Chains A and B, each alone.
Chain A
Amino acid sequence: MNHNEIKELLYDYTKNECAEKSDEIKAHLATCAECRDEIKKLNSIKSLFRGSIVALPSTVRSPYAGGFLPAFLRPVPAFIAAALLVLVVLSGINIKSYTERQAAVSFVSDSYSYFLQETQTDLLANELTNY
């Protein structure tokens, strides 16, 4: 290969995409300042790309965060489980006081609201999928 042919392969060489010609290119680089300079330019472009990489914003949520089970089968937070347990227990107790009944209703209602909030994203995703 002549100088121009090798120069056109330099990017492929930096990406290890022309293994069969790499020995010839390496030998040419040892004697050609222009091609060595070209490799430097390519490496500076690569550095620019590497330096531009940013983190995935937290606003892009993983739809897999809760595992791959349908929403209604996913594990619920411990306190929601506790709330359900309390509901079961309360259903077996004769609560006479109005205040006690109200407190129990509020507790279960609040827990359910939290649960709905937690699963809102999954429900939205399912709606989009079915749309």
Chain B
Amino acid sequence: MAHNLGQIYRQHGKYAYNVALRILANKSDAEDVMQNVFVKLNAGLSSFRGDSQITTYLYRMAVNESIDLIRRRKMMDAKHESMRPPDSHEASGAGPLVLQEALASLPEEQRAAVLLCEIAGFSYKEIAEILEVEIGTVKSRINRGINKLKEALK
């Protein structure tokens, strides 16, 4: 099946990158994640059934790779805590500090669901497909996440 990958890159690349950027809170890490995602997506091209499935995988990989990177970093930090300088969102080039700090207060799963909803504009059903969870779980993660953001942004 022919895929219009160039169009998917142009249409969704920016939003998938912004989701990764807000999960990671680091511009350089988000760029690395997205480059890796596009290479992997291209390599697995023959296994996709249609453009909508590629779009789902694009966001799923962007979210999963970003969360994996955070978890790997946390493990590294635990090992080398004394050697690492404190985090600075301003130095990371990740954008609005107030939003980034509020997002940092959310667990990764809530952060991903909120970002897919607010940055990429997906419906709860689409987010459930991307994250491979039930719609009820998506709804719960988003509502809890938004409530925490409201508190953090007061």
Residues of A within 8 A of B (CB): 8, 11-12, 15, 17, 41-42, 45-46, 48-49, 51-57, 59-65, 68, 125, 128-129
Contacts and interface: CB of A to CB of B under 8 A. Distances in A.
A38 to B, nearest CB: 9
Contact of A45 (B38, B40, B42, B153): B153
A129 B43 contact: yes
Nearest to B36: A128
Given A49-B118, A129-B43, A60 B17 contact: yes
A53 B38 contact: no
A12 B139 contact: yes
Contact of B45 (A8, A11, A68, A125): A68
B136 to A, nearest CB: 12
B99 interface: yes
Given A49-B118, A51-B96, A12 B143 contact: yes
Interface string B63-101: 000000000000000000000000000000001101100
Contacts of B149: 45
Given A15-B117, A60-B31, A54 B43 contact: no
A26 to B, nearest CB: 20
Given A8-B143, A125-B39, A54 B18 contact: yes
Interface residues of B, number: 39
B119 interface: yes
B129 to A, nearest CB: 15
Given A11-B143, A55-B14, A129-B43, A64 B9 contact: yes
18 contacts: A12-B143, A15-B123, A17-B123, A42-B146, A52-B22, A54-B17, A54-B18, A54-B21, A57-B31, A60-B35, A62-B5, A62-B10, A63-B38, A63-B41, A64-B42, A65-B6, A125-B39, A125-B43
Nearest to A16: B123
A53 B143 contact: no
A17 B153 contact: no
Contacts of B43: 125, 129
Nearest to B35: A60
Contact of B34 (A8, A51, A56, A128): A56
A65 B3 CA distance: 13
Nearest to A46: B118
A12 B113 CA distance: 13
Contacts of A61: 35, 38
A68 B153 contact: no
Nearest to A58: B31
A64 B15 CA distance: 18
